[in-house]
Amino acid sequence: MPPFAMPPVPPMALSLDTARGALAPEGPMLVRRMSDLEGLFRSADAWRAACDGDDPVVYEVTSSPVPELPRELPQSVTTIRPGACGGEFHMTKGHQHPDPQGEIYLGLSGRGGLLMFDGERPEWVDMGPGTIGYIPPGWAHRSVNTGDEPYRFLAVYPGSAGHDYGWVLEHGMGLRARRGTGGEVSLVPYDG
């Protein structure tokens, strides 16, 4: 058998429980609290106040056992809890892929958005159950919960892509997603 056909994990079937956001077999789990999102919300005072309280969980990522290695296609399910900080909806940290690769997100439950930024222009895709968001190579991306219940999505990405969270802290995302006066999603300029 050629070396490229010798995977680090055997062929398998994965089970996706959309109601719980669970994959089986399950791989690593990541939990991000408000304190993990320093520098991402416009209002540092609102962020500090949220951290000084109960430091709530903002989102969780459950991964499959497929490793982040070249030629592999890892999968994960992210669940973003509803809420806001300083008027901005709860969101993921967002990242850029150091090895520019495309990625897809499939909305499973709840309402959300996919914010993308290529360094010059931002793009927003409304996400919900059954919506597939395509992230082209070279675009930083972040997911946002715009609803009143948990927003959950499946991600599938090349294992060699990597995650550069510092890029977003340095360059921003072009827009911020806030709740408008009528409860709608309002996209406003990033402005630091």
DSSP state string for 36-57? GGTTTSS-HHHHHHHHHTT--E
pTM (two decimals): 0.94
Q: What is the pLDDT of residue 10?
A: 87
Q: What is the pLDDT of residue 181?
A: 87
Q: What is the pLDDT of residue 182?
A: 85
Amino acid identity for residue 22 in this structure? A
Q: Which domains does the chain have, with CATH numbers?
A: 22-189 (2.60.120.10)
Q: What is the pLDDT of residue 30?
A: 96
| Tokens 């994965």 belong to residue | 14
Q: What is the pLDDT of residue 1?
A: 46
Per the CB < 8 A criterion, the answer to whether 188 and 176 are in contact is yes
Q: What is the pLDDT of residue 16?
A: 95
Ordered mean pLDDT values, 10 residues apiece, the chain (192 residues): 64 92 94 97 95 93 95 96 96 96 97 97 97 98 97 97 95 94 90 68
Cα distances (Å, whole numbers) of residue 9 to 2, 103, 168, 177? 16, 21, 32, 39
Buried b (16+ CB within 10 A) or exposed e, 152-167: bbbbbbbbebeebeeb
**β-strand partners of 104:** 134, 156
